[in-house]
Structure 1
Amino acid sequence: MKRTALALALALAAGWGLPAAQATVIGTMTRAQPVTEARIATLGETERAAWRAYLERSRALMERDKATLAAERASGTAPPEAQARLHGDSGMPLKQPAAWYASAEARHVADNIVSFQTPAGGWGKNVNRTGHLRQKGEHYAPIDDDPSGGVIVATKGWNYVGTIDNDATTTELAFLARVQAALPGAPGAAYRQAFERGVSYLLDAQYPNGGFPQVYPLQGGYHDAITFNDNAFAQVADLLAMVAARGGDYAFVPPELAARAGAAHGRAIKVLVASQIRVDGQLTGWCQQHDALTLAPVGARNFEPVALSSSETSRLLRLLMEQPRPTPEVVAAIDAAAAWLKRVAVRDVGWTTKAENGRFLEARPGAGPMWARMYDIATMKPIFGDRDGTIHTDVNELSKERRDGYGWYGNGPASALAAYDKWSKKR
């Protein structure tokens, strides 16, 4: 048994495993910075104009969204917030037979999507789209002002109103594309119009450097960071590529919009390559989010510190391998990300569940490989965050709620590395 696995086994033997005398807190969360005029003023002269115009546009769109809702509510009492919250399925399946998308069931989902589209063109998150159509004066998104985890609420009652988080907006757009394809002509016109507005929303949301914020119009805090977390950036890039190609469900897209989507996709790939983290001169992987202006890795929620992320790196690796004509820079980014994932694989331990005490890491000789979600950039060792903002090197020290409520370990990178082996052989 390796020394580290043996030490862990001895620590776990006395109970469920928390070391009694050895603290492993190595720091606390550092808040990500929003996009502001003051920060834009520090940029080079050639960049400042584009960023100022972006910030002004974002603020104008938020004010328009708010004004539109306020005008609807001015004539009477606002309806209760009754959107169906997500519990499992979103109600937007994308793999049904083509004929199903012309059904009354699918059209109701599409009508729900159209009705809840914000004036800016996006959608909120965590909604089951099989629910009722939006009523006049009803909010565009389920509002959750609970700041637990460090969520930044710019204005009470206005949170995630237009986002790419948790598959939002990209899934609505993909579903609308499927439904309109099953309804050529006038029956699908409303869905095509909503789709084009939604793509324009994503194009508006894209930063001058090619990145995408988690929430748009900008909400502030870590929500302004370029968001690779939970595959948000990759899903937007994939959608833009399909829109640009104008094939299949996307054949209806006007050429001008397709051209803009293609250019936006190209900018996204460039910023992705530019933001890859370099340690001692060597390219590695990516953080869950990167600063919009500097591209530096930044933290997000209280339990998501600055760190290299195996999950996000795996998805971004796949995105880069999908490029039909990769540049030398893209190839170098791919090779480096794969090498980093291989380097930080974890063996001889298991991430398990114990009914009474929740999930924990245990010694398991011969097990693996698997990967920690986050790695310290300086040491390349796994790190873990808790609700109170503390950063730990021992996952077993976290509160039970955080151990159970977050994917600290997984084997997802294995499939990305298998895809890389095939990709590299075809080069």
Structure 2
Amino acid sequence: MIGTTTTAAPLTEARVAGLDVTGQGPWRAYLERSRALMAADKATLAAERAGGTVPASAAAHLKGESGMPLDRPAAWYASAQAAHVADNIVSWQTPAGGWGKNVDRGGPLRRRGEHYAPVDDDPAGGVVARADGWSYVGTIDNDATTTELRFLARAQAARQGPGGAAWRAAFVKGVRYLLDAQYPNGGFPQVYPLQGGYHDAITYNDDALATVVALLDAVAAREGDYAFVPAGLAAQAGAAAERAVDVVLASQIVAGGVLAGWCQQHDALTLAPVGARNFEPAALSTAESARLLSLLMRRPKPSARLVAAVDAGVAWLKRAAVYDVAWVRQADGGRVLVARPGAGPIWPRMIDIATARPVFGDRDGTIHTDVNELSLERRSGYGWFGDRPAAALADHARWTARRP
């Protein structure tokens, strides 16, 4: 054990007051807007519940499949089943314009007075459930909001005219929600309106920011499913995507004197790498870094700065690869790292910034250098090793070959 995880600080007025006076205005306005939108969300729900009973949640909670397939033949999106999913999405959209996570959108429509986001994070995972039950009411975690928007775009394309008007209106409102959620420096929090805690950090974890940028790029292009997007909104989406790329470049971590990769989350104001849940310390993250590198390599006109960032990040991923070990599942379902000559490469999920050694977090906040020391539940319930960076390395080889 080499230490304990420190959770990221929330974005607050007090912290904004520590900025240079000329830089405080946009952040104060952001906080005011966030508070106003949360107040409106809460007031709307309270008004629906006034004088009546509160309906129990009928939403199907799930992990993984969302009920919003994006890979069906075009004709399927004109079906009654697809229309039900799109109507479900519209019914669950918050007044601010976002959506909660981990809900089956093929399930029942939201009833008046039903909570907008019935799924809280597992309190056993180190997240303290909010006393008011107001959690993840609008989020980009687990592909939420972006998947709802992509499905609405696909569905409305199959129903031109008045039949798809409600879906198009919800889509526009959802894109405006993402634009509202973006920080003045280009980053995105995990939850918006702001929930506090590590959720306020700029979130690269599980590809949250990268997924938002990919959607904003599609909106900006106004092609295919997105041809209906108003030109002004498309221009705003394109500008927001570029600001997000700028903050990715600005937050790349220097380790050992050279540019390396990124943490799963970075402080909203300082861009410093920060911890999140108890088992997620502030460390370089190979999986998230790989996705960010692929995002950067897809920019149409890469600057010299971007090229240097990508080349340095790929070089770091190559250094971070490990060989002659395998991450295997045992008969009892638990995972363990074992010696296996000739195996690899695989990548540890997290790399200590100062020592360049793999690190692993446990439920109690302790940080370890040996994954096999972790509790069985946390050792087996998190992706501590994987081969995802291999795809980014392959992307880089092709990208380099295309460069003049």
Name the TM tier (shorter chain): over 0.9
Q: Secondary structure at the match of 1:380?
A: coil
Q: Is the 8 A contact 1:152 1:220 kept in 2?
A: no
Report Cα offsets for 1:347-373 as digits up to 9, x if no partner.
011100111371100000111000000
Q: 1:331 to 1:152 in 2, by over 3 A?
A: farther
Q: Secondary structure at the match of 2:299?
A: coil
Q: 1:239 to 1:334 in 2, by over 3 A?
A: same
Q: Percent identity?
A: 70
1:234 to 205, 210, 216: 210
Report Cα offsets for 1:31-77 as digits up to 9, x if no partner.
11000011001111221010000001101100110000000000310
Report Cα offsets for 1:77-131 as digits up to 9, x if no partner.
0111121112542110101111110100000000000000000000000011010
Shifted more, 278-287 versus 321-330: the winner is 278-287
CA distance in 1, matches of 2:256, 2:391: 28
Partner of residue 150, structure 1: 126
Matched, 1:324 2:300: yes
Q: Is the 8 A contact 2:102 2:119 kept in 1?
A: no
Q: Is the 8 A contact 1:143 1:158 kept in 2?
A: no
CA distance in 1, matches of 2:19, 2:91: 40
Partner of residue 79, structure 1: 55
CA distance in 1, matches of 2:359, 2:33: 38
Matched, 1:352 2:341: no
Give the structure-2-normalised TM-score: 0.98
CA distance in 2, matches of 1:226, 1:145: 18
Q: Is the 8 A contact 2:103 2:119 kept in 1?
A: no
Q: Secondary structure at the match of 1:391?
A: strand
Partner of residue 408, structure 1: 384
Give the structure-1-normalised TM-score: 0.93
| Unaligned residue ranges in structure 2 (runs of 5+) | none
Query: Which of 1 and 2 has greater Rg?
Result: 1
CA distance in 1, matches of 2:121, 2:296: 36
Partner of residue 10, structure 1: none
CA distance in 2, matches of 1:63, 1:386: 36
Q: Secondary structure at the match of 1:351?
A: strand
Partner of residue 201, structure 2: 225
Report Cα offsets for 1:314-353 as digits up to 9, x if no partner.
0000000000001111111110110000011000111001
CA distance in 1, matches of 2:128, 2:136: 10
Partner of residue 381, structure 1: 357
Which stretches of structure 1, 4 residues or longer, exceed 6 Å deviation after superposition?
none
Q: Is the 8 A contact 1:79 1:138 kept in 2?
A: yes
Matched, 1:174 2:150: yes
1:390 Cα deviation (Å)?
Answer: 0.3
CA distance in 2, matches of 1:157, 1:279: 40
1:280 Cα deviation (Å)?
Answer: 3.6
Q: Secondary structure at the match of 1:334?
A: helix
Partner of residue 292, structure 1: 268
Matched, 1:305 2:281: yes
CA distance in 1, matches of 2:277, 2:122: 12
Q: Secondary structure at the match of 1:366?
A: coil
Q: Where do residues 258-269 of structure 1 align in structure 2 (5 Å cutoff)?
A: 258-269=234-245
1:411 Cα deviation (Å)?
Answer: 0.6
**Superposition RMSD on alpha carbons, in Å?**
1.1
Q: 1:43 to 1:125 in 2, by over 3 A?
A: same
2:89 to 107, 113, 117: 113
Q: Is the 8 A contact 2:256 2:354 kept in 1?
A: no
Q: Is the 8 A contact 1:143 1:157 kept in 2?
A: no
CA distance in 2, matches of 1:285, 1:174: 29
Q: Secondary structure at the match of 1:362?
A: strand
* Code of the aligned partner of 1:186: P
CA distance in 1, matches of 2:17, 2:169: 38
Shifted more, 278-287 versus 312-321: the winner is 278-287
CA distance in 2, matches of 1:296, 1:154: 26
Q: Where do residues 250-265 of structure 1 align in structure 2 (5 Å cutoff)?
A: 250-265=226-241
Matched, 1:39 2:20: no
Partner of residue 183, structure 1: 159
1:153 Cα deviation (Å)?
Answer: 4.5
* Code of the aligned partner of 1:57: R
CA distance in 1, matches of 2:357, 2:239: 38
Q: Is the 8 A contact 2:64 2:102 kept in 1?
A: no
Matched, 1:57 2:33: yes
CA distance in 2, matches of 1:101, 1:143: 27
Q: Is the 8 A contact 1:205 1:217 kept in 2?
A: yes
1:152 Cα deviation (Å)?
Answer: 5.1
Matched, 1:28 2:4: yes
Q: 1:357 to 1:250 in 2, by over 3 A?
A: closer
Count of residue correspondences: 403
Report Cα offsets for 1:231-263 as digits up to 9, x if no partner.
000000000011011011000000010011011
Q: 1:357 to 1:141 in 2, by over 3 A?
A: closer
